[in-house]
């Protein structure tokens, strides 16, 4: 493949990855340590230094980042269409955009985009699922990743860990030539030279209430998350009754004794999964695992280690019922030194505890 074709293919197909910096948990919370997108990017095209940004010159649109981003700040606009292509197929075969055959494959941007949601739905519609992996073709592609096959096998392994019965996904990895020619139109060339790098956006650590609510409306049920939950519900009889947090793309939380009930963690919760309520007597926190995207922004924010992530397995049925859980409940008590009401586990409020210690 000529260098010019290599570069033109990369640029002309770099139209599907969408970036919404305001959704990024690192943009919204400067204490966040989330780096899932940069960890998986094989070409280091993603930056989180001054808000989420993608260097289009370097990005190959393998879409690995879209599969791991907890808040869908990075997403493929064609992702949902893959599910519409699956019904009424005797055999479902996944291939990529570089496959120039006339076969009726479901063509992902790259096979690196294959995830558990696609596999679960594929087996719901067909008894035979195939991956059209060809090492020779991959080597000619600008998205080439030497670890691609290993990555796909890990995805299949994780998918099978969710199921009560293991499903076989076959590989068609025989070496053969695939046509990768492309003709470029005048319009393509104009598009090629007019592309711009994604704007960088930085938001405050804790936005105003109105901004938080607007973000939650857009994030609460993202398209990918909604589809994934529907797939889990439709296939729950084929899945184990208890699943890991990673399989359900969520997490479980627990508050520690050091929590002072300030509620700051709930304010940076992008989806509204964590909420605090209080009256004159008690403070409690309500949590909805199905809304949680597992970004850990709440944990990263807390400077006093007031909450932690649990690794316990999750009841799938309870998860899909999307019920609120009370995970923090504490009564106010009177400080033994100054008489102020507080929630500390100590007999003294934080100020008095600090003074007594000093």
Residue 112 in contact with residue 62, Cβ under 8 Å?
A: yes
Q: Which of 180, 139, 131 is nearest to 8 (CA)?
A: 180
Q: Which of 61, 51, 50 is nearest to 18 (CA)?
A: 61
pLDDT of residue 214: 58
Q: Which of 96, 229, 240 is nearest to 161 (CA)?
A: 240
All structural domains of the chain with their residue ranges: 3-194, 240-357
The pair of structure tokens assigned to 320 is 């899909």
Q: In angstroms, rounded to a whole number, what is the distance separating the alpha carbons of residues 291 and 283?
A: 21
Residue 330 in contact with residue 282, Cβ under 8 Å?
A: yes
Cα 39 to the center of its chain, rounded Å: 13
CA distances in angstroms from 238 to 93, 159, 208, 210, 244, listed in the order given: 21, 12, 43, 42, 16
pLDDT in tens, 243-294: 999 999 999 999 998 888 889 999 988 889 999 998 878 899 999 999 999 9
**Pairing relationship of beta strands 341-342 and 333-334 according to DSSP bridges:** antiparallel
Nearest-10 crossing angle of helices 116-125, 223-234: 40
Per-residue pLDDT of the chain (358 residues; tens, 9 = 90+): 444 555 555 555 546 899 998 889 888 888 999 999 999 998 999 999 888 999 988 998 999 999 999 999 999 989 999 999 998 788 999 999 888 888 889 999 999 999 999 999 999 999 899 999 988 888 888 888 888 999 999 999 999 999 999 999 999 865 433 333 344 444 444 444 444 333 333 344 445 566 656 555 555 556 788 899 999 999 999 999 999 999 999 999 999 988 888 899 999 888 899 999 988 788 999 999 999 999 999 999 999 999 999 999 999 999 999 999 999 998 878 787 787 776 766 677 777 777 766 5
Concatenated DSSP letters for 176-207?
A: ----------HHHHHHHHH--PPPP----SS-
pLDDT of residue 187: 44
Q: In angstroms, rounded to a whole number, what is the distance separating the alpha carbons of residues 330 and 140?
A: 61
Four-residue CA torsion sign, 20, 24, 30, 33 = negative
Q: Is the pTM of this model over 0.85?
A: no
Q: Report helix, strand or coil for 98.
A: coil
Residue 63 in contact with residue 107, Cβ under 8 Å?
A: no
pLDDT of residue 194: 44
pLDDT of residue 316: 97
What number of residues does the chain have? 358
Q: What is the CATH number of domain 240-357?
A: 3.30.70
pLDDT in tens, 143-168: 888 889 999 999 999 999 999 999 99
């Amino acid at each position: 493949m000529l260098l010019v074709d290599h570069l033109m293919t990369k640029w002309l197909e770099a139209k599907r990855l969408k970036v919404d910096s305001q959704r990024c948990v690192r943009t919204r919370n400067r204490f966040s340590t989330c780096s899932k997108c940069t960890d998986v990017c094989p070409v280091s095209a993603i930056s989180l230094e001054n808000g989420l940004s993608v260097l289009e010159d370097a990005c190959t649109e393998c879409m690995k980042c879209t599969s791991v981003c907890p808040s869908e700040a990075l997403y493929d606009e064609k992702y949902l269409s893959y599910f519409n292509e699956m019904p009424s197929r005797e055999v479902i075969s996944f291939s990529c955009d570089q496959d120039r055959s006339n076969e009726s494959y479901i063509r992902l941007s790259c096979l690196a985009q294959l995830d558990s949601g696609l596999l679960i739905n594929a087996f719901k519609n067909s008894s035979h699922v195939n991956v059209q992996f060809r090492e020779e073709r991959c080597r000619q592609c600008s998205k080439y990743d030497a670890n691609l096959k290993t990555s796909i096998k890990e995805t299949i392994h994780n998918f099978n860990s969710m199921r009560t019965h293991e499903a076989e996904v076959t590989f068609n990895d025989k070496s053969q030539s695939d046509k990768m020619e492309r003709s470029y139109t005048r319009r393509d060339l104009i598009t090629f030279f007019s592309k711009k790098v994604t704007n960088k956006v930085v938001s405050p650590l804790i936005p105003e209430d109105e901004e938080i609510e607007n973000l939650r409306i857009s994030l609460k049920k993202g398209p990918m998350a909604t589809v994934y939950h529907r797939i889990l519900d439709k296939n729950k009889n084929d899945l184990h009754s208890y699943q890991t947090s990673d399989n359900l793309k969520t997490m479980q939380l627990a508050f520690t004794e050091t929590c002072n009930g300030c509620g700051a963690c709930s304010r940076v919760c992008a989806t509204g999964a964590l909420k605090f309520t209080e009256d004159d007597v008690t403070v409690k926190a309500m949590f909805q695992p199905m809304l949680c995207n597992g970004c850990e922004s709440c944990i990263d924010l807390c400077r006093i280690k007031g909450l932690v992530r649990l690794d316990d397995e999750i009841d799938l049925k309870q998860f899909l019922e999307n019920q609120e859980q009370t995970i923090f409940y504490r009564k106010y008590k009177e400080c033994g030194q100054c008489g102020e009401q507080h929630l500390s586990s100590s007999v003294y409020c934080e100020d008095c505890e600090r003074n007594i210690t000093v």
